[in-house]
Amino acid sequence: MSIEVVKTCPLGSECEEIKDGKLHRCRWYIEMAGKTQDGTEVNTWDCAIAWQPILMVEMSSTSRNVSASVDSLRNETVKRQDIALQFATGIKNVKTISDQ
C-alpha cells in the first residue's frame, strides 16, 4: 500500500496554473540546474522556499572548502617567508621574525 504525497503551498497558492489562456507562474517557482556529486545533471522546478535548505547546506560546504584553502595558503606563505628571512639575514634555524 502506498500513500500519495501531495505538496501544498503554505501561502495557499498554485505554482503554475492556466487562466484566461495564459500560464500564471508564481515568482518563487524557480528552476535549478546543476550537477549532483556523482556528476548527474539535474534540472528541476520547485519553490524557492523549498530550495533554501539545500542551498544553505551547499553554501556551508563551500565555506568549509574556502576556509581550508585559505589555511593551506597561509601555511605555505609562512614557510616561504621563513626561507626568505633565512636567506636575507644569513642566519640559520630562524623560526619566525618575532623570535629575533
Structure confidence by residue, pLDDT tens digits, 48-62? 998 999 889 989 988
For residue 4, being part of any structural domain is answered with no
Convert the pLDDT of each residue in 13-34 to its tens digit: 888 888 888 998 888 999 999 8
pLDDT at 100: 47
For residue 92, being part of any structural domain is answered with yes
CA angle 20, 21, 25 (to 5 degrees): 85
Domain total in the chain? 1
- pTM of this prediction exceeds 0.85: no
For residue 91, being part of any structural domain is answered with yes
For residue 26, being part of any structural domain is answered with yes
Write out the residue range of the structural domain in which residue 24 sits. Answer: 16-99
For residue 85, being part of any structural domain is answered with yes
Name the most confidently modeled range: 3-12, 50-59, 85-94: 50-59
Mean pLDDT (whole number) for 4-13: 80
For residue 30, being part of any structural domain is answered with yes
For residue 84, being part of any structural domain is answered with yes
For residue 11, being part of any structural domain is answered with no
